[in-house]
């Protein structure tokens, strides 16, 4: 089956593609930015960058085409913000220090003090839905996170983000529909570009990869039970995201031999804006959210139902030690007479592209990659 990585004996090995050889453990390779001359040479002479360019361009067109088909409207949005999606990292003593939804880039903004570069456009998409007769919106924007680059993570990357007046299940159906549409478009229009990276059989596998039979939906609790049963490590008996990282994501999909749509994460271990699920298990609350993990790869889509109750938001503000002044527009949104409950998702552009092309490192699918020490060219 198509997939970038294998998780065995504590290692994340790279399986290789037509362009790159196998690697024993990708986590041992650090991000090393190209020098200006190296990058210029690669852009000028590497066939890889040509085919990647064609795939990127086609993915953009396919994305816009899909959202037009479901009557979602494009939005221009700001890249500077006071509202960050995982404020526990900044304001609550790194309460979420084992997540990657974190650490925004801090700026000094004229005489207004510190602000951040946006690491998600979700909040501003939610505000757009207050407009009369606007039901679904999307953006394709840069996201910034002050975190070191690694084999599957860049410090600056692109998100495809959607927000709509839709149910939780409709939201899930929307992002699976987006994956199907993009993949089908690339198969129909960019087979030669895909063939630079993939064998004929791997390209054929893509045709059915997002069929229902190739997607397993399970709760986070059930996912941990699968890992414990197959791997035998007692840490998986503790339903915490502390025990669910890159190795576990790859291992889970390889065990099940499918993509995995994981729902109901521990409510206090994820960003504050997710609503509580209707169930409560083990004395702990679980969120009405879902992460989509690509087969043999990482979580590529994060999604959920947005919290609607103002009192519940204020309770979470206390838990995460939020500066309420920064989030006043988000809280006041719920008090508007025209406010409607929404759901949404964010898809990591480079993560999908890395999975699709089976490249070993995520910086390989970015023409001008940005990591923790790559500010030029």
> Taking the CB of residue 87, how many other CB atoms lie within 10 A of it?
26
CB contact burial 98-125 (16+ within 10 A = b; e otherwise):
ebbbbbbbeeeeeeeeebbbbbbbbbbb
| 242 in any annotated domain | yes
Which tens digit of pLDDT belongs to each residue from 205-240? 999 999 999 999 999 999 999 999 999 999 999 999
Q: In which residue ranges of the chain is pLDDT below 50? A: 92-94, 96-100
pLDDT tens digit string along 323-365? 888 888 999 999 999 999 999 999 999 999 999 999 999 999 9
Structure token digits, residue 27: 């986590």
Residue ranges making up the domain that contains 318: 5-365
CB 303 within 8 A of CB 289: yes
Q: What is the mean pLDDT of the chain?
A: 91
Query: In this predicted structure, what is the pLDDT of residue 99?
Result: 43
Check if the beta carbon of residue 302 is closer than 8 Å to that of residue 289: yes
Find residue 285's DSSP bridge partners: 280
Q: What is the pLDDT of residue 35?
A: 84
- Tally of domains within the chain: 1
Please check whether residue 21 lies inside any domain of the structure: yes
Note whether residue 30 is domain-resident: yes
* DSSP-H helix ranges across 102-219: 122-128, 168-189, 191-195, 200-206
**HSE-CB of 101 using CA atoms within 13 angstroms:** 25
Residue 337: is the preceding peptide bond cis (ω within 30°)?
no
Pinpoint the alpha helices (H) of 72-146: 88-91, 122-128
In a domain, 226, yes or no: yes
Establish if 375 belongs to a structural domain.
Answer: no
Residue 298 included in any domain: yes
Say which CATH number the domain at 168 has: 3.30.930.10
In angstroms, rounded to a whole number, what is the distance separating the alpha carbons of residues 3 and 299?
Answer: 13
80-81, strands of its sheet edge to edge: 80-81, 114-117, 106-108
Q: Are strands 73-74 and 80-81 parallel, antiparallel or unpaired?
A: unpaired
The pair phi, psi for residue 24, each rounded to 5°, is -65, -45
Using DSSP's 3-state secondary structure scheme, residue 363 falls into helix
Does residue 371 lie in a domain region?
no
Report if residue 376 sits inside a domain. Answer: no
């Amino acid at each position: 089956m198509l997939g970038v990585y294998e998780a065995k004996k504590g290692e994340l090995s790279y399986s290789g593609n037509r362009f790159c050889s196998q690697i024993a453990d990708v986590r041992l390779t650090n991000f090393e930015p190209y020098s200006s001359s190296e990058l210029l040479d690669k852009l000028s002479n590497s066939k890889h960058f040509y085919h990647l360019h064609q795939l990127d361009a086609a993915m953009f067109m396919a994305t816009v085409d899909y959202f037009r088909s479901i009557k979602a409207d494009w939005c221009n949005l700001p890249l500077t913000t006071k509202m960050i999606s995982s404020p526990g990292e900044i304001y609550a003593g790194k309460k979420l220090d084992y997540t990657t939804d974190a650490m925004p880039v801090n700026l000094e903004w004229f005489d207004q003090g510190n602000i951040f570069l946006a690491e998600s456009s979700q909040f501003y998409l939610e505000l757009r839905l207050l407009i009369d007769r606007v039901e679904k919106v999307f953006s394709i924007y840069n996201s910034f996170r002050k975190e070191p680059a690694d084999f599957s993570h860049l410090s600056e990357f692109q998100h495809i983000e959607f927000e709509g007046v839709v149910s939780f299940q409709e939201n899930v159906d929307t992002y699976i529909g987006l994956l199907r549409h993009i993949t089908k478009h690339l198969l129909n229009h960019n087979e030669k570009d895909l063939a630079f990276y993939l064998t004929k059989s791997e390209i054929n596998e893509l045709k059915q990869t997002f069929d229902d039979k190739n997607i397993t939906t399970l709760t986070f609790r059930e996912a941990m039970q699968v890992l414990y049963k197959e791997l035998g490590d007692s840490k998986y008996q503790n339903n915490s995201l502390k025990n669910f990282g890159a190795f576990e994501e790859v291992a889970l999909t390889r065990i099940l031999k499918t993509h995995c749509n994981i729902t109901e994460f521990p409510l206090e271990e994820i960003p504050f804006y997710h609503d509580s699920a209707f169930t409560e298990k083990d004395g702990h609350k679980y969120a009405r959210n879902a992460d989509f993990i690509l087969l043999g790869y990482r979580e590529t889509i994060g999604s959920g139902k947005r919290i609607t109750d103002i009192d519940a938001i204020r309770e979470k503000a206390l838990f995460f030690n939020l500066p309420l002044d920064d989030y006043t527009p988000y809280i006041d949104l719920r008090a508007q007479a025209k406010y409607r409950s929404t759901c949404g998702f964010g898809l990591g552009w480079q993560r999908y592209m890395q999975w699709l092309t089976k490249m070993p490192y995520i910086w390989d699918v970015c023409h001008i990659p940005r990591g923790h020490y790559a500010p030029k060219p």
